[in-house]
Chain A
Amino acid sequence: NAGVTQTPKFRILKIGQSMTLQCTQDMNHNYMYWYRQDPGMGLKLIYYSVGAGITDKGEVPNGYNVSRSTTEDFPLRLELAAPSQTSVYFCASSYLDRYNSPLHFGNGTRLTVT
């Protein structure tokens, strides 16, 4: 049981490049999330999904896109990388149950845009 798996662990992008951060979970969770965490700051929600085919914006969605074609996968796409997107990105998943829904996080992707 791998939990939530993110790839890559590290990446350096040049301004204007694009990339996809991969996230997959094997716990059959309906809810999945993408957060970013800037140095010394809290987690900010980028996008979330309540199930396959359904996505919605979080606090800071600009510059990102997501898709949820399957329950397991929730990739995050950066189309035109900017220095402001330098951050650590965490993918997470949780059960549907609202009263017992802790988040399970992946190990994170450290992205630097130069």
Chain B
Amino acid sequence: DAGVIQSPRHEVTEMGQEVTLRCKPISGHDYLFWYRQTMMRGLELLIYFNNNVPIDDSGMPEDRFSAKMPNASFSTLKIQPSEPRDSAVYFCASSGSSYNEQFFGPGTRLTVL
């Protein structure tokens, strides 16, 4: 298996632009997680899905952030409009069940100028 796939690996954009991050989980995994990693706040869970349904989005920082999972093999995290403080590494992870380990993708490094 190819593991969790994220695209793009790097994104540089200007403040106010829309940013879309993409994730393909491991085939057969029912859970998908989005994390953000910054120097100031460390690694934070933003939202997670079970069977394509958002279960907990309490970590989403504000309304500018939205996440979707239209099918079992694809999820997006969108920021609109983007701000410099959104600059971070965004990770996607997936797992096979509530009691299986999470497998992380390589991350997307986002820079908002």
A binds B: no
Q: B residues engaging A (CB < 8 A)?
A: none
